[in-house]
Amino acid sequence: MDSLRFLIRDRDSKYTDAFDAVFQAEDIEIIKTPVRAPKANAHCERVICTLRREALDHILILDEAHARHVLAEYQRLYNAHRPHRARHQLPPQAHQQPPPALKPASRRVLRTRILGGMINEYSYAA
């Protein structure tokens, strides 16, 4: 397993020296967000909220291996298939995929079940 290198956290007083010591004992560098910058973690929090809302709130994670499997499947979906509003409804890896046909040769739609059918991918049949 790859070891963690960083812990990014805010400056809330609930994070005591004892909290930091646990991570420093494992050689994990603690990086604090800037002072008076409430949106410094916004991108990270946005991704975590999306992941929870679309996947983790609907699955009972059994162990670390299961969690890694779920996260890997969701990462593949998120980067290769899921539309993103900020990217004109294209996934981040859209440049690696063939351009969509203007008129599909077949009107038949294929459904691929992700994570046991909790999430579905749709595409036109070739």
Q: The tokens of 13 are what? A: 């007083």
Of 14-18, 20-24, 40-44, give the lowest mean pLDDT range: 40-44
Domain count of the fold of the chain: 1
Domain hosting 54: range is 6-97
The answer as to whether 111 is a domain residue is: no
The answer as to whether 69 is a domain residue is: yes
Q: What is the pTM of this model?
A: 0.56
pLDDT-derived band of residue 62, with 50, 70 and 90 as boundaries?
very high
The answer as to whether 110 is a domain residue is: no
Which amino acid belongs to residue 7? L
Across residues 71-96, what is the average pLDDT? 77
The answer as to whether 61 is a domain residue is: yes
Give CA torsion, residues 58, 62, 65, 69, to 10 deg. Answer: -20
